[in-house]
Amino acid sequence: MLVLITYDVSTSSSGGQKRLRKVSKACQNYGQRVQNSVFECIIDTSQYTTLKFELEKLIDPTKDSLRFYKLGNNYKTKVEHIGVKEALDLEELLLF
């Protein structure tokens, strides 16, 4: 399923900057950044549960926020892109 993850981490302190880097790195392990603080992740239910738990541990819920949008398996008809930085097809074969 496609899950869109957005986050807002307060960076007014050095602890906030550290949390922001950790949240970003955790999201990069599961998907691709499509905008600042926005990730698209194609994951299964187990991975979603793990990622959500991991992110909840990283943030300070009194200062930061997370949003999860579960777009499901038929997401290709639900996502429209206009402008630069066309996103990669996460299900397509990548050759290095």
Q: pLDDT tens digits for 2-18?
A: 999 999 999 988 899 99
pTM for the full predicted model: 0.79
71's enclosing H/E stretch is strand 65-72
The pLDDT tens digits of the residues spanning 2-59 come to 999 999 999 988 899 999 999 999 999 999 999 999 999 999 999 999 999 999 999 9
Q: Could you give the 3-state DSSP secondary structure of residue 24?
A: helix
Q: What share of the chain is helix, strand, coil (3-state, %, to 5)?
A: 35, 25, 40
